[in-house]
Structure 1
Amino acid sequence: MCIKGLDVDSVISGYIYYEGYWERDMLQLMLKILQAYPNATLLDVGSNIGMFSVTAAAANYSVVAVDPFKTNLAYIRLSTVLHGSQDNVRYIPHTIRVIHIILEYLQGATPFVTADVARTKPSEEIGEGVESITFNELLDVVHTDTVIVKMDIQGAECKALIPFLQKKIKTKYIPYIIMEWQWITYNMMGLCPDIQPLIKAFLDNGYFPANVTTRHELDIETQKTWYDVLWVHQDAIH
């Protein structure tokens, strides 16, 4: 697993350097789910340097890694090349467009704004442009009918997932969605001012929330105490 210099990334890379992993419970959960769905694709949205993507690829599963920073995707590529699993991964260097006119926040809480907004900012505050894609558009480029989603986009999950959940005809079956939850409940950066539509959309589509460690169903009333959550479809293989 290739990591960044600790002077650059003391959090994720630093934890991997000292402990050998990142988010172990979620990582183990992902592998168990992929064992149940060996022909599915792992859609790693907000992949960063690829702890999940690299691990899944090493276990010979199909992966689509999505991150706006090409440097992060390059780390994933090098990690898989060194392991010989590079052919298992496709790379999407995009942000997830939550609505057609607004910004997106991904791993590291880096803000992305539209070109029109960028023109109003000082040049020193604006970096290289990045293409964006909606979650529904992203699903269209996945080759398999079944998709396992791991999503970490720093609170934007609320707006990113609702259009998929509210879509009447779905082209992909997603039995499991692994996601951070704390940033959503705290409305990080104002991206999810009302979480109830997201919860309702999950429930209306036959999903229930589960603990990422025990996989036991969670009580909706306790959702403000959740840190990470696994959304399980009622027809999913357990």
Structure 2
Amino acid sequence: MGIEKVISVDPSPQNHALLYNSLALNNVNNGAVIHVMNPISDGHYEYNGITKTDDNKIDNSGDSLDFSLSEPYNGTLTTITLKDIFGINPEENTYIIKIDVQGFECKALTEFLKMERKPKSVPYIQMETVELCYKGFDGPCFESYKTEFLPLLESSGYIPHVPLPTTYQDLRDQCYFDVLFVHKDAKPFPYWDDRLSRFSFVQNYHQQK
């Protein structure tokens, strides 16, 4: 079975170097991965590793768009959207999303979730949710996570797993570290297999309310 094309979106050159080295060490053709060195958001903004201001520029105060840079980026990047990512490989109709953007997941996914007719099939969304629901982080999606973002995922047909299937009320009551959202029309994911589910996450702890 061949390896499907992967689009890696990350503003950190260090992270791309780690990915490239990992591919080389595992004898995976680097052509299987498209490297995109941009942050993702809900629009196109100038970015230097800190924040977006009202005039579509980035300054160094307030909430961060992305905390993944191990060192400040020396230059300016432009944020891209999920629609832009879909356009990189337009002939592909199915995408699996693994996203960790430090509490800005609503910025990246809300426009897609609001579409009545989705432009691409996304059967699985693996998402770090702890920074969306834990008060200690209090990021830009915190206020809307339970009242707007989770209802959008539910109305779009996604079933949450932690790793076994759970309810949206459970997500409102507990703050899990990771959640896998499986679309109701997707091929069943083997997290509920007794041989696999115990090992699906190393530790999916939840924070207190």
Q: TM-score, normalized by length of structure 1?
A: 0.62
Q: 5+ unaligned residues in a row in structure 2: which ranges? A: 62-71, 189-209
In angstroms, what is the RMSD of aligned CA positions? Answer: 2.8
User: For 1:147, what is the secondary structure of its paired residue?
Assistant: coil
1:61: how far off? 3.2
Q: Which residue matches 1:211? A: 162
Q: Which residue matches 2:111? A: 163
Q: Label 1:155 to 1:116 Cα distance change in 2 as closer, same or farther (>3 A).
A: closer
Q: Does 1:232 align with 2:155?
A: no
User: For 1:60, what is the secondary structure of its paired residue?
Assistant: coil
* Aligned structure 1 segments of 4 or more residues deviating by more than 6 angstroms: none
1:237: how far off? 0.3
Q: Which residue matches 2:59? A: 118
Q: How many residues align?
A: 169
Q: Which residue matches 1:96? A: 40
CA distance in 1, matches of 2:153, 2:165: 14
Q: 5+ unaligned residues in a row in structure 1: which ranges? A: 1-37, 39-58, 105-109
User: For 2:125, what is the secondary structure of its paired residue?
Assistant: strand
Residue by residue over 1:20-70, the C-alpha shift from the partner in whole angstroms, topping out at 9 and shown as x without a partner, is xxxxxxxxxxxxxxxxxx7xxxxxxxxxxxxxxxxxxxx833211110012
Q: Which residue matches 2:75? A: 128
1:164: how far off? 0.5
Residue 80 of structure 1, aligned match among 23, 26, 29: 23
Aligned partner of 2:185: which letter? Answer: D
Q: Label 1:189 to 1:134 Cα distance change in 2 as closer, same or farther (>3 A).
A: farther
Q: Is the 8 A contact 1:93 1:131 kept in 2?
A: no
Q: Is the 8 A contact 1:176 1:231 kept in 2?
A: yes
1:146: how far off? 0.8
Task: Please show how residues 52-63 of structure 1 align to structure 2 within 5 Å.
Answer: 60-63=3-6
How much identity, in percent, do the aligned residues show? 28
Q: TM-score, normalized by length of structure 2?
A: 0.70
CA distance in 1, matches of 2:26, 2:160: 34
Question: Counting helix residues as a fraction of each chain, which structure ranks higher?
Answer: 1
CA distance in 2, matches of 1:88, 1:218: 34
Q: Label 1:189 to 1:111 Cα distance change in 2 as closer, same or farther (>3 A).
A: farther
CA distance in 1, matches of 2:106, 2:178: 14
Q: Which residue matches 1:201? A: 152
